[in-house]
A and B are shown apart, each in its own frame.
Chain A
Amino acid sequence: QQQVRQSPQSLTVWEGETAILNCSYENSAFDYFPWYQQFPGEGPALLISILSVSNKKEDGRFTIFFNKREKKLSLHIADSQPGDSATYFCAGLPRPGYQNFYFGKGTSLTVIP
């Protein structure tokens, strides 16, 4: 069973637009949600993360909106740049400790200049 789902599978936006990437999860116990950015040939790198006690987290052009009741979150990338073209993974974790992340299958973002 896929614990974390992402949509859309792929997304194309123009430079300067806001890209919206969606994520939903099954396990109500999930408490920590990191978003990872992965470029071809590289490993994932942490972009931004949020705890379930918050409903919004901003870091520069990147913002996470979190809705605990609906078990949904979204990553907004404002003023998208061609260098943002990558695959973005949403992940969930139920509690601190030595737990593996549950990753979604990713959204492939292409930003057209």
Chain B
Amino acid sequence: NSKVIQTPRYLVKGQGQKAKMRCIPEKGHPVVFWYQQNKNNEFKFLINFQNQEVLQQIDMTEKRFSAECPSNSPCSLEIQSSEAGDSALYLCASSLDWGENYAEQFFGPGTRLTVL
């Protein structure tokens, strides 16, 4: 069973408000991913880290979205000015260092964001 912890489980914000969610990856996992899962079950990759360094991110996260994974603190994803279209389940996943092999991604339960 996954031991990725995400808080809060539910988050309700008004349009224009900041929304911040946190993730504690599984112990010993240096790689962290953030995905957005919308109501149509579509997954959208947002950003991933190895330790504190950003590996990949999509354009969307360079504008209103920001994320970090500081050492000895939870990773976080923040939406600076929430929009209705941001309402979704935000999933954090962690994995071992991929290297030359494929490594399983372990997902947390997600943060359900509702933007009113």
Contact = CB atoms under 8 A, between A and B. Distances in A.
Contacts of A59: none
B75 to A, nearest CB: 15
B40 A43 contact: no
Contacts, number: 58
Interface in B1-41: 1-2, 4, 6, 31, 33, 35, 40-41
Contacts of A96: 98-102
- Taking residues whose C-beta sits less than 8 angstroms from the other chain, chain B's interface range is 20 to 34
A10 to B, nearest CB: 11
A106 B41 contact: yes
A16 B14 CA distance: 47
Given A34-B104, A98-B48, A103 B2 contact: no
B50 interface: yes
A1 interface: no
A37 B102 CA distance: 19
A101 B41 CA distance: 14
Nearest to B49: A98
A43 B91 contact: yes
A60 interface: no
Contact of B48 (A36, A45, A100, A103): A100
A113 interface: no
Contacts of B40: 105
B109 interface: yes
Q: Which 10 residue pairs across A and B have the least CB separation, nearest first?
A: A43-B107, A100-B45, A103-B43, A98-B55, A106-B41, A32-B102, A105-B41, A44-B107, A43-B109, A46-B104
21 contacts: A32-B102, A34-B104, A42-B110, A43-B6, A43-B93, A43-B107, A43-B108, A43-B109, A44-B91, A45-B1, A45-B2, A46-B104, A46-B106, A49-B104, A89-B43, A96-B101, A98-B50, A98-B55, A100-B45, A100-B48, A103-B43
Interface of B: 1-2, 4, 6, 31, 33, 35, 40-43, 45, 48, 50, 55-56, 91, 93, 98-102, 104-110
